[in-house]
Each structure stands twice: as structure tokens, then as C-alpha cells.
Amino acid sequence: MTGNERLKEEKVFKDPVHRYIHVRDQLVWDLIGTKEFQRLRRIRQLGTTFLTFHGAEHTRFNHSLGVYEIMRRMIDVFHGRKHWDEENRLLCLSAALLHDIGHGPFSHSFEKVFKTDHEEWTRAIILGDTEVNRVLLRMGEDFPKEVADVIEKTHPNKLVVSMISSQIDADRMDYLQRDAFYTGVSYGHFDMERILRVMRPTEDQVVIKSTGMHAVEDYIMSRYQMYWQVYFHPVTRSAEVILNKILRRVKVLHDDGYDFKQQPNHFIPFFLNDVQIQDYLQLDESVIYYYFQMWENESDRILADLCGRFLHRRLFQYVEFDQSFILHDWPALQEKFRQIGIDPDYYLVIDFSSDLPYDFYRPGEEEERMPIHLLMGDKKLRELSRESDVVEAISGKKRTDHKLYYPADLLDQPEFEEEKREILTMLRV
């Protein structure tokens, strides 16, 4: 088959966030059916957040369908309007559906440790020898590259790029609502129907009719609250810190020639920095969990302990710290840990907000990202924070947080009592 055909009968997915997700194109239906897209069912959207908010078990699959649905509705609003070219409909829908196709399990930690980049994998999966690529090729030889360029934000059509990736786009509108729904928090809700109705295409971006400003204020506020209350929750970060250390420990042991009871077969291409698409696609959360369960029985005490902590949610405690701590106490604290036989490389971790950066809404200045523009009654554009006191109040404000994580349970045990007292003093607990 070449090109796209309308499905004889519309397919619908029941969805708790958008109620229904409507599929009317054979192209979209076939993309959903590819093994690379189905793999997203085995990757949670929020990584370790389920250890804090037990409902957060939703996957990249749910989210990707949600982004597709929002994009579909956005296109309905744009239909027939100036600057919108209906020829780009399938390009937008494909990009929306596939924008996260390169995510692996626990992406943030995995990428930090193994220096991989899910955006590069997204491109590789779309352009490489995959089922996704074969489906996209039906639309023409250049179509996969166009889809990859839209996702990478290097496509020359800036309007299309902004629909999937800008300060108010289909991706963010889905994940905020979906993450709020599944975590069960009361933040993260905003009137998306209203925002969609007041979105207007321009030559190089989507803008918002000024009458919709209050709905956008809610959306910006949701982003702010979700970040601090959910995404950067210190308990979630604690789990992430342990996960990161497990991956580092496995790599160190492998490099040192340690004799694993359970060889890290799926990880070896990553250790060797020689990963093919098929190696990458074989990894999902079920595979990672299998290894963690097996490694809990390894003779390496650090690896076994960290895996046990992650599997059974025995997480690290945390404290705040300041400049004086970094300058004066940090090296001494590490030394104290060594003295009592706890390796600080694995059990004393500083976690910064730059480890999980969040794109706060910031207006113009010398910033690199297009701000949200309101379309005023006189047809002129005004940057959102110049009109909205609410947005102005939170734009570019508190952006950083940092904590020191440590295993409080190990400091409770009756050995090295004097050293442990000194450690607790240094930790100020």
C-alpha cells in the first residue's frame, strides 16, 4: 500500500483523560500497531514516581496516544484558517504519535549513566530499519525525515514544530493532565477545551486569542505546581538516585571484570558504547526489573543492597544544605563515610534540580524559547506575562532545589557510634 487511506470504520480508544481517542487514518492505525510503538506500553511515563504516587503507573503508550488526540483536535480547530496547510495534517499527527518513541526505561537515569539520548534514538527509530520507518515510507521517501525533523525542531515549518513543541503544545497539555490524573493530585488541571478553541495558527507559531488568557494562566500555574509537587518530589528523587547508582555500580563491576551470577547481557552494548537499534529496543522496564531481582542476590554487597532498596522501597533520607556545606563539610563528610565502611560514591549523593531540569515559563528577554503570545483585539501580539499578573508573578522565579541523600538506616546501626554522631552533626539532623 502507498499513501494513506481513511479507515472504513473509525477506531476509538477509551481514554480516562480525553474520554476517547479517535483514529481515522490507516497510517496512524498502522503506526500504533508497530512493535516499536507497542514497546511503549512497557515504559512508564513517570519512571520512579509510582514509588511516591502509587497511581502513576501510566505509560509512554498512553501519553503518546493522548498527544496524538490533542494534535488531532488542534488540527480540527485550525481547519480552513489562514496559515494552516491541510497538507501537513499527517505530518503533525505522525510527529505527535512518535515524539517519544525513542524513550527507554527510566530514561533520565539511564541517559545520565550511559550517555545516551532518547531524542537521538527517536530519530534513529524513525529513520532506521524499523517497522515504524516502513509504515512512514508509504507516504513518500522524504516523509520519515520530515517527521524526524519536526520532532527534532529542525523542520523549517515553525508553526508545525510549535504545535508539538513549544511553551503551549500538545505534548505538555497531555502530560500535565495525564500525570495529574494518574498521580491523583489536585493540581495539573486546566481547561484544555477552552485553550484549543482559542488557539490560532500564524506563520511561525500558535498564538492564543486574548479572551483565552485565563485558561492559559491555569495551564502555566499547573506546570509550576506539578513540577514542585510531583516531578521533583524528594521521595521520587531518592528512588532515582538509587537507580542511578545501581546502573553505575553494574558498569563499574563489569569494567573491573567482576564475575556476575546474572550476567548483564542486555547492558553490555551500553557498557561498550556500541548500541544498535535492536539492542536498544530490547530494553524495557520488565527487563530492568528482572536484572534488579537477580542482582539482589549478587555477592557484591553494594549492588545487592542498592537493588534491594529499589525493589523494596527502602529509600535514602535527605537533608538541605548550603554553600558553607559544599565548601567546608562535603569532603569531610565523605571521609567519615569511608571511615565507617560506607562508600560515599554510592551512599552520599547530592541531587540538584539541574539533574531534572524543568522548563519554567519565562518571557522574552534574551531567552531562547518563543514565549506564549496573545492575539489582541487590534490583531497585534503581546507576550503573555505583560498582560497577566499571575504569570508575571511566577515567571522565572524559584527554579532551583538541591538535597543531600544518605541511607539513614545504616547510621542507626550500633557500630562506630562516635563517628556516626559526628556524621549526623555534619548532616544537621
Partner 1 sequence: MLTEHVNIMKLLDMAEEIVGRKKFQKVVYIGKQLGMPFQEKYGFHMYGPYSEELSVRLDELKQFGFVSEVKEEKAGYSQYRYKLAEPGTSFVRTSSSFQGEQEKSVIDEMNACSSKFLELTATILYLQPAERDSVIARVHKLKKTQKYSEEDMKEAFLCIERWRTLLKRA
Q: Which residues pair with 21 in a beta bridge?
A: 13
Q: How far is CA 203 from the centre of its chain?
A: 29
Q: Cβ of residue 368: shortest distance to partner 1, in angstroms?
A: 4
Q: Which three cell numbers stand for residue 280?
A: 536498544
Cell of 355: 539533574
Q: How far is CA 265 from the centre of its chain?
A: 26
Nearer of residues 231 and 291 to partner 1, judged by Cβ: 231
Nearer residue to partner 1 within complex by CB, 1 or 327: 327
349-352 vs 317-319, strand pairing mode: unpaired
399 in contact with partner 1 (CB under 8 A): yes
x/- map, 113-142, partner 1, by CB under 8 A: ----x-x-----------------------
Binding residue for partner 1, selected from 228, 260, 358, 416, defined by CB under 8 A: 358
Closest CA to 424 of 337, 327, 313: 337
H/E stretch holding 311 = helix 301-312
* 351: region left, alpha or beta (phi > 0 left; psi from -120 to 50 alpha): beta
CA distance 359 to 370: 12
Q: Is 320 in the site for partner 1 (CB under 8 A)?
A: no
Query: What is the identity of the amino acid at 114?
Result: F
Q: Which is nearer to partner 1, 22 or 402 (CB)?
A: 402
Q: Could you tell me the three cell numbers for 130?
A: 524499523
Total binding residues toward partner 1, as defined by CB under 8 A? 30
Interface residue with partner 1, options 323, 378, 414, 418 (CB under 8 A): 323
Q: How far is the CB of 393 from partner 1 (least distance, A)?
A: 18
State which of residues 203, 256, 274, 365 lies at the interface with partner 1 (CB under 8 A): 365
- Kindly indicate which of the ranges 28-36, 75-83, 282-290, 359-367 contains the residues binding partner 1, using the contact rule CB under 8 A: 359-367
Residue 355 CB coordination number (10 Å)? 17
Q: Does 400 bind partner 1 (CB under 8 A)?
A: yes
For 93, half-sphere exposure in the C-beta direction (CA atoms, 13 angstrom radius) is 25
What are 403's strand-pairing partners? Answer: 351
Shortest Cβ 39–partner 1 spacing (Å): 23
Residue choice 15, 111, 383, 419 for contact with partner 1 (CB under 8 A): 111
The span from the CA of 336 to the CA of 186, in Å, is: 43
Dihedral sign computed on CA atoms, order 160, 161, 167, 170: positive
Whole-number minimum distance, CB 333 to partner 1, in Å? 11
- 277: part of which helix (H) or strand (E)? helix 277-282
Distance CA 191, CA 173 (A): 10
349 phi, psi to nearest 5 deg: -130, 130
* Selected binder of partner 1 within 367, 386, 393, 421 (CB under 8 A): 367
203 binds partner 1 (CB under 8 A): no
Minimum CB separation of residue 37 from partner 1 in Å reads 22
153 counts as binding partner 1 under rule CB under 8 A:
yes
397 touches partner 1 (CB under 8 A): no
Distance CA 161, CA 47 (A): 26
Residue 146 within binding range of partner 1, rule CB under 8 A: no
Q: Segment contacting partner 1 (CB under 8 A): 77-85, 186-194, 375-383, 396-404?
A: 396-404
Cβ atoms of 191 and 176 within 8 Å: the answer is: no
Residue 349 binds partner 1 (CB under 8 A): yes
Binding residue for partner 1 (CB under 8 A) from 7, 127, 350, 376?
Answer: 350
Report how far Cα 168 is from the mean position of its chain's Cα atoms: 16
Shortest reach from residue 358's CB to partner 1, in Å: 8
Least distance to partner 1, CB of residue 136, Å: 20
Summarize as ranges the residues that interact with partner 1 (CB under 8 A): 111, 117, 119, 152-154, 156, 322-323, 326-327, 330, 349-350, 352-354, 357-359, 364-370, 399-400, 402
